[in-house]
Amino acid sequence: MKSRNTAWTDPSFEQITETFIHEYLEERKTLVSQPVCRPAGRKPEHTGISEKGRPLEDVVRELKEEIFSFGCETCHPRFLGFVPGTASCYSWLGDIMTSAYNRHAGSLANFPQGCQIESDLIRWLCDKAGFPDTAGGLFVSGGSMANLTALTIARDRLPEHDWHRGTAYVSEQTHSSVAKGLHIIGIPSDRIRCIPTDKHFQMSSALLEQAITEDLEQGLLPFAVIASAGTTNTGSIDPFSETAAICRRYHLWMHVDGSFGASVLLSGRKGLLKGIELADSLSWDAHKWLFQTYGCGMVLVRDRADMVNSFHAHPEYLKDIDADEEYMNPWNIGPELTRPARGIKLWLTLQTMGSDAVASGIEHGFELAEYAEQLLRRYPEIEIVSPAQLAVINFRFNPGRLTEEEKDSLNLRISRQIISSGYAGVFTTELNGKKVLRLCTIHPETTKEDIRNTIFLLKEYCQKLLPASGSIPA
C-alpha cells in the first residue's frame, strides 16, 4: 500500500526528529559547562505565519538556535534562583511518550490504563501525606491550578448567596498564586487577610485566630486558611497542628500550599511536615522537587466526594450510577474535561528510580543549603537573613558603613553581575524590608564545588563593587 504524503506527513520528519533527539541528548551531557542564562538575541526572524509553510529542518533549526538558546536554563545545576526546574531524563522520556501517544486522559473510557495509573499514584501520594481512605486527587498543570482547584472546593462549602462574605487567610509569605486563585473564585482583595509571620517567617497562630474572630464579629464568613509547606522565599513551614486546631474550632477549610515543600514527605525528613495530615487539601508540584518536566502538579483532597460535588457537571448522577467510577474519571473531579495524562512521567520516574533514589535526591538539596550556610557564616560582613530551610537560604552582603538603601543596591548589582557572567543564576528577593540574595539548591546534580565557587564569585563581585575600604575579608 502506498504511503500517504500530505501536509500532515512530512517525509523528512523522521530523520529530523532522530537528529534533534540525538543532538539534544549530546548537549545535555555538556550542560554544566554552558552559561546558566543567556540574554535575548535579536527578535526571531519568522514571527509571522506564511501561507505556504517552510521546510521543517529550517523551523527546527530556528527554534534551537534563535528561541530555545536564550533565557534561563532552569535545569542547569547552577541555576539557583526561583525553584529550579530539575527535570530528570526519565521524566523527559515520559513527557515524550505522553505527547507522542496523545491520549485523552479525561475519563476511564478514553484511557483506562492511564487513568488507573494516575489514580493509583494519587492514592500512594495521599498515603505519604497521611490522608485517610476517603482521600483523592488529580494531576493538574502545577501549583497555581492545584491551589485554584482546592480553593474552589473550599468556597463551594459556603452557601452560594454568601460567597460575597467569604473571607480567606494567608500569611505574608504565601505564594502569589493563592491570591490569584482567590480572585478567580470571586474573593476580593478586601476579603483576603494577610497574617504577619514570626521571626522564622511562619504564620502567627495567635494573630490568625484574632483575625478570624474579628471577622466573625463583623458578620463575615471565614472559610479557608492557606498554610505553607515550604514558602518560595524562605522554605519556611507554617505550624500545621496549631492551624488545624483553629480551623476545626471555627469550621474553616485548611489548605496547605506544598507546591515546593510537600516533596519532603518522600524523604527521611518528613517529620518536618508533622501535622500536614490534618489538612483538608494539599497542592504539590512534581516539577519542582520530584524532578519532573514542567506541567506536573497534584492536588490532594481529604474527601474526594468534595471534588465531585464541585466539579461534576451532573452530581445528581451519583444517586444512580457506580460512585467509584465517578471518583476515578478525572473530568468529574477537576475543572478540565480534555486533559493529558500528566502523571505518567512521574510514574515512569518513580518506577525506574525507585522511591529511595528520589528521597536521596531530596536529601541532597537539604545538605547543599546547609553547606552553603556553613560557608557564608565564615564572613562577618555577610548577614544570614533566613537560615537554611528546605534547601533555601537567604543572605546579603552587609557592609556596616553603607546605608540600607546602598546595601539593597549593592546586593542587587551583585546578583546582576553573576547572572551576566553566566556562571550561576542567583536572584534577589525581599525579606524584612531588605534586598537579599537567595539560593535554592534542589538540583541533584549541583555539587558542593558549585556552591563554593558561586559564593566565592559573589564575594569577588562585592569586592569589585565596593570602594577599597569596604572590601570583604578574604
Kindly give the residue spans of alpha helices, DSSP state H, lying in 227-312: 240-250, 286-289, 304-311
Close Cβ partners of 306 (under 8 Å, ≥ 6 residues apart)? 153, 156, 157
Pair 449, 457: CB distance under 8 Å: no
Residues 263, 125: Cα–Cα separation, whole Å: 10
Q: Are strands 192-195 and 166-171 parallel, antiparallel or unpaired?
A: parallel
Residues 319, 461: Cα–Cα separation, whole Å: 68
Closest CA to 63 of 38, 87, 50, 46: 46
- Which three cell numbers mark 127? 498515603
The DSSP line for 383-403 is EEEEEEETTEEEEEE--TTS-
Condensed to tens digits (0 to 9), the pLDDT of residues 341-389 reads 999 999 999 999 999 999 999 999 999 999 999 999 999 999 999 999 9
Label residue 235 left, alpha or beta by phi (over 0 means left) and psi (-120 to 50 means alpha).
Answer: left
* pLDDT at 398 exceeding the cut of 90: yes
* pLDDT at 205 exceeding the cut of 90: yes
Pair 226, 168: CB distance under 8 Å: yes
Condensed to tens digits (0 to 9), the pLDDT of residues 101-150 reads 999 999 998 999 999 999 999 999 999 999 999 999 999 999 999 999 99
The neighbouring-strand residues paired with 170 are 194
- Give me the pLDDT at residue 40, please: 80
- Give me the pLDDT at residue 208, please: 98
Close Cβ partners of 222 (under 8 Å, ≥ 6 residues apart)? 166, 167, 168, 169, 212, 215, 216, 250, 252
Q: What percent of the chain has pLDDT over 70?
A: 94
Vertex 277: Cα angle to 114 and 330 (nearest 5): 25
Q: Is the dihedral of CA 107, 110, 112, 114 positive or negative?
A: negative
Pair 198, 208: CB distance under 8 Å: no
Closest CA to 454 of 87, 81, 85, 84: 81
Pair 112, 120: CB distance under 8 Å: no
Residues 212, 250: Cα–Cα separation, whole Å: 8
Condensed to tens digits (0 to 9), the pLDDT of residues 282-311 reads 999 999 999 999 999 999 999 999 999 999
* pLDDT at 321 exceeding the cut of 70: no
Instruction: Tell me 417's DSSP state.
Output: H
Q: In the chain, what are the domains?
A: 103-353 (3.40.640.10), 356-470 (3.90.1150.170)
- Give me the pLDDT at residue 368, please: 98
Q: Is the dihedral of CA 378, 384, 387, 392 positive or negative?
A: negative
Close Cβ partners of 421 (under 8 Å, ≥ 6 residues apart)? 457
Instruction: Say how far residue 342 (Cα) sits from the centre of its chain.
Output: 15
CB burial readout 242-279, b (16+ within 10 A) else e:
bbbbbbeeeebbbbbbbbbbbbbbbbeebebbebbbbb
Vertex 142: Cα angle to 141 and 145 (nearest 5): 80
- Give me the pLDDT at residue 328, please: 76
* pLDDT at 464 exceeding the cut of 90: yes
- Give me the pLDDT at residue 44, please: 79
- Which three cell numbers mark 56? 521543517
Q: Which amino acid is at 280?
A: D
The answer to whether the predicted template modeling score (pTM) of the entire model surpasses 0.85 is: yes
- Give me the pLDDT at residue 468, please: 55
- Give me the pLDDT at residue 177, please: 96
Q: Is the dihedral of CA 437, 441, 447, 448 positive or negative?
A: positive
